[in-house]
Amino acid sequence: MIKNIIFDLGNVLLDFDPEQYLIDLNYQGKIKEKLKSEIFKTEEWLMLDRGTISQEEAVKIWQQRNPDLKAEIADVMAEWEKILTVKKDSLKILKSLAAKNYNLYILSNFHKKAFDYVSNKYDFFNYFDGRVISAAVKMIKPEAEIYDYLLKKFDLEAEETVFIDDSRKNIEAASAKGIRVIHFKNAESLAEELKLYLRE
């Protein structure tokens, strides 16, 4: 019987679309692609998730690596957290689960500064009974340790728990721990897959 439901944040409850963000900032063509790869697809971005580097340190490294893009990198990173907007259809599902008194948790790879921003901005965090944020615990998905940490911290039984994530690697790692999993594609398919689990 399922008692616990764990949500990822990015692209599950919150939209995260660097491509659209760069377009909105009027970056196009080669410069847009370079900014995307030199910021969002770097080792430093993962270090921000892991909490082993500050945003200021990351920006400095990116600017040193790309001296021709110093101003653009500063511009992109000034308020990038604003791209993290609520996925309203997913929020409806979260609210319905809260109303049915399931234990709700967050397990997410997230930068400290960005998490501070979204947790202060959006009140849906009040629905959760607990959370494990990568930057706070210095571990990231899909590393096995972060799933062990979550189960132990909240005293959860893996077989009574469903984990929802948009990354196949992350759900495969959770499944290896005995946790039930749903690979998030959209809110409609999430609702259908949850019905199957919660019917048990």
Cβ contact 179:165 at 8 Å? no
Same-domain pairing of 122 and 170: yes
**pLDDT value at residue 39:** 98
**pLDDT value at residue 157:** 98
Same-domain pairing of 115 and 166: yes
Same-domain pairing of 117 and 93: yes
What H or E segment, with its residue span, contains residue 12? none
- pLDDT single digits (tens) 146-196: 999 999 999 999 999 999 999 999 999 999 999 999 999 999 999 999 999
How many angstroms separate the CA atoms of 109 and 139, rounded? 8
Average pLDDT of the segment spanning 35-54? 98
The token pair that represents 90 in the structure block: 């997913």
Same-domain pairing of 77 and 107: no
Boundary of a domain, candidates 67, 83, 99? 83
Boundary of a domain, candidates 83, 113, 139? 83
Predicted TM-score (pTM) of the model is 0.94
The token pair that represents 134 in the structure block: 């990568």
**pLDDT value at residue 199:** 82
Domain count for the chain, please give it.
Answer: 2
- pLDDT single digits (tens) 104-125: 999 999 999 999 999 999 999 9
**pLDDT value at residue 200:** 58
Cα-based angle 153, 107, 73 (whole degrees, multiple of 5) = 130
How many angstroms separate the CA atoms of 119 and 198, rounded? 28
Calculate what percentage of the chain has a pLDDT beyond 90. 99
Same-domain pairing of 45 and 136: no
Domain around 42 = 18-83
Same-domain pairing of 98 and 9: yes
Same-domain pairing of 59 and 136: no
Beta bridge partners of 183: 165
Same-domain pairing of 34 and 115: no
Calculate what percentage of the chain has a pLDDT beyond 70. 100
**pLDDT value at residue 16:** 95
Domain CATH number, residue 101: 3.40.50.1000
Same-domain pairing of 95 and 189: yes
Same-domain pairing of 103 and 157: yes
**Whether the predicted pLDDT of 83 surpasses 70:** yes
Boundary of a domain, candidates 59, 83, 107? 83
**Whether the predicted pLDDT of 54 surpasses 80:** yes
Same-domain pairing of 8 and 31: no
Same-domain pairing of 95 and 125: yes
Average pLDDT of the segment spanning 101-105? 98
